[in-house]
Each structure stands twice: as structure tokens, then as C-alpha cells.
Structure 1
Amino acid sequence: MDAYYNCLNCMNRKVRILTIDRKVYEGKIVKVDRERVYLETSEGGPVRTSAFGPYRRYGFGYRNQILTLSLFTLLAIALI
């Protein structure tokens, strides 16, 4: 439940999310429900993911792409 309330507190703000499989996502939280967080990625920019340390970029996002992440996989969330 802590992840749910943390995401609610960060609604409509840019965040960096770290998941339990060590992937990092950046974007703006646009919606949160009891099971998922919906993250809007940067317009036309890459979706940033990382195994460890410096970011490795895997592909490019599309304008207004929405990523859906399970709240159960969130390890950390930070405002950027």
C-alpha cells in the first residue's frame, strides 16, 4: 500500500521509478489505481531503462506513450 500512496503523492509530476528487476523508468504519473501506476513518457524521447549504474537506452518511446507498471514491482520512486 505504501507504493500506492507514494504514487498518489507524485501524481502529475515527473518521476524516476526503479523496479525490483532493476529497470528505471522516467516520466509523469498520470493515473494510479490499487494495482497499477500509469506513466507518460517524454514526448519523442527514449524510454530510459537500466540494469545497473549508467543508463542504457532500449528503443525510443512515442509521443504521449503510456507505460503501465504494477505497483507490486516498484522498489523506489523519486521526483525529478
Structure 2
Amino acid sequence: MEAYYNCLRCKDRRVRILTRDGRQHEGVITDVDRYNVYLRTDNGSVHTSAFWGNSFAGNQILTLSLFTLLAIALI
């Protein structure tokens, strides 16, 4: 639950997310639910620790499982 509340506090802000498998993702948190955080990025097609991103207005929306998050930082 801590990851959920941390992501809620960072909604609509630019963040860097580190996942348990060592991957880093940068972007703006667009939404959070009890299981996932949705991150809008500027780069092209990116494979995440949970799912493939969906194209949205020229950017990618990455869906990351909250269970895979290790750290989140505002940038």
C-alpha cells in the first residue's frame, strides 16, 4: 500500500521510477489504481516490468505493477 500512496502523492508530476528488476522509467504519472501506476513517457516503444505501453497522443502510457516498484523520486 505504501507504493500506492507514494504514487498518488506524485500524480501529475514528473518522476523517475525504479523497478525491482533494475529498470528505470521517467515520465509523468497520469493515474494510479490499487494495482498499477500509469506513466506517460516521451520515448518510443518501451517494454516495462508489467505490460507494453499503449500509444496516447504521440507519447507512451506505461502500465507498471505497483508490486514491482522499488523506488519513486520526483525529478
Same fold (TM over 0.5): yes
Name the TM-score class by shorter chain.
0.7 to 0.9
Residue 65 of structure 1 aligns to a residue whose secondary structure is: strand
Query: RMSD across aligned C-alpha pairs, in angstroms?
Result: 2.1
Larger-Rg structure:
1
Greater than 3 Å deviation, 4+ residue runs: 45-48
TM-score by length of 1: 0.75
TM-score by length of 2: 0.80
Runs of at least 5 residues in structure 1 that lack an aligned partner in the other structure: 49-60
Residue 59 of structure 2 aligns to a residue whose secondary structure is: coil
For these two proteins, the number of residue pairs brought into alignment is: 67
Of Structure 1 and Structure 2, the greater strand share is in 2
Aligned to 2:26: 26
Runs of at least 5 residues in structure 2 that lack an aligned partner in the other structure: 47-54
Aligned equivalent of 1:66, options 52, 61, 64: 61
Q: Percent identity?
A: 64
